[in-house]
Structure 1
Amino acid sequence: MDTEVLDVDTARRRIVDLTGDVRQFCASRGDGLCNVFVPHATAGVAIIETGAGSDHDLVDTLERLLPRDDRYRHAHGSPGHGADHVLPGLVAPSVTVPVGAGEPLLGTWQSIVLVDLNRDNTRRNVRLSFVSG
């Protein structure tokens, strides 16, 4: 298995498009599977359309589903931080994408994104792993 870790700054963005990094990682690897994994308890990875408003819609929807208030038992950190720990239950911490001839086999409008609503931690590691097939 080949692997690489990306260091991602989420201070200014809650949705970070990782598609270019994934394409570059897969480019010389042939056929197989690429797994994109975020080893954090308060972030996730999704495949969505970006640039047409869907990324903003996803953030708005998650903020409605996970309001920042005092309802959470997990109560350390900034107000409502417990919501950040529920996020991976809705947006999984990983996705796996088939790769053919070094190219992730995504649909026309699909992008791989990091989803991070947590304002307490703005540095994320994202592990890309490739298994030949």
Structure 2
Amino acid sequence: MNTEVLDVDTARRRVVDLTPAVRDFCARRGDGLCNVFVPHATAGLAVIETGAGSDEDLLDALERLLPRDDRYRHAHGSPGHGADHVLPGLVSPSVTVPVGDGQPLLGTWQSIVLVDLNRDNPRRSVRLSFLSG
């Protein structure tokens, strides 16, 4: 299995498109599976369309589902930080995509994105792993 770790800064954007990095990682690897995993308790990954408003719609929906207030038992950190710890229950910490001839077999409008609402930690690691088929 081949693996690589990306360092991602989410200070300016809560949804970060990882697709170019995943494409680069898969290039020349042939057929197999690419797993993208974020080893953090307050971030997740999604496959969505980006650039047409869907990323902002996702953030709006998550903010409605996970309001940043004092309702959470997990109460350390910035106000509403408990919501950050619920996020991976809704937005999975991993995504696996098939790869054919070194290309992730995503749909025309699909992108792999990191979703991070946590204001307390803008540095994220994302592990890419390739399993040949």
- Normalising by the smaller structure, the TM-score range is over 0.9
Per the alignment, residue 68 of structure 1 pairs with 68
**Where does the alignment leave 5 or more consecutive residues of structure 2 unmatched?**
none
Helix, strand or coil for the counterpart of 2:131?
strand
Q: TM-score, normalised by structure 2?
A: 1.00
List structure 1 runs of 4+ shifted beyond 2 angstroms.
none
Per the alignment, residue 38 of structure 2 pairs with 38
Helix, strand or coil for the counterpart of 1:55?
helix
Per the alignment, residue 24 of structure 2 pairs with 24
Q: CA deviation at 1:28?
A: 1.4
Per the alignment, residue 98 of structure 1 pairs with 98
- Are residues 1:11 and 2:11 paired? yes
Distance in 2, Cα, partners of 1:63 & 1:87: 10
Paired amino acid for 1:115: V
Q: CA deviation at 1:80?
A: 0.3
Paired amino acid for 2:90: L
Per the alignment, residue 55 of structure 2 pairs with 55
* Overall identity of the aligned pairs, in %: 87
Aligned length: 133
Distance in 1, Cα, partners of 2:28 & 2:84: 36
Helix, strand or coil for the counterpart of 1:34?
strand
Distance in 2, Cα, partners of 1:6 & 1:114: 11
| Per-residue Cα deviation, 1:45-74 (whole angstroms, up to 9, x for no partner) | 000000000000000000010000000000
Paired amino acid for 2:38: V
Helix, strand or coil for the counterpart of 1:56?
helix
Paired amino acid for 2:117: L
Distance in 2, Cα, partners of 1:14 & 1:28: 30
Paired amino acid for 1:83: A
| Per-residue Cα deviation, 1:58-115 (whole angstroms, up to 9, x for no partner) | 0000001000000000000000000000000000000000000000000000000000
- Are residues 1:123 and 2:126 paired? no
- C-alpha root-mean-square deviation of aligned residues, in Å? 0.2
**Where does the alignment leave 5 or more consecutive residues of structure 1 unmatched?**
none
Distance in 2, Cα, partners of 1:115 & 1:69: 19
Q: TM-score, normalised by structure 1?
A: 1.00
Paired amino acid for 1:39: P
Per the alignment, residue 79 of structure 2 pairs with 79
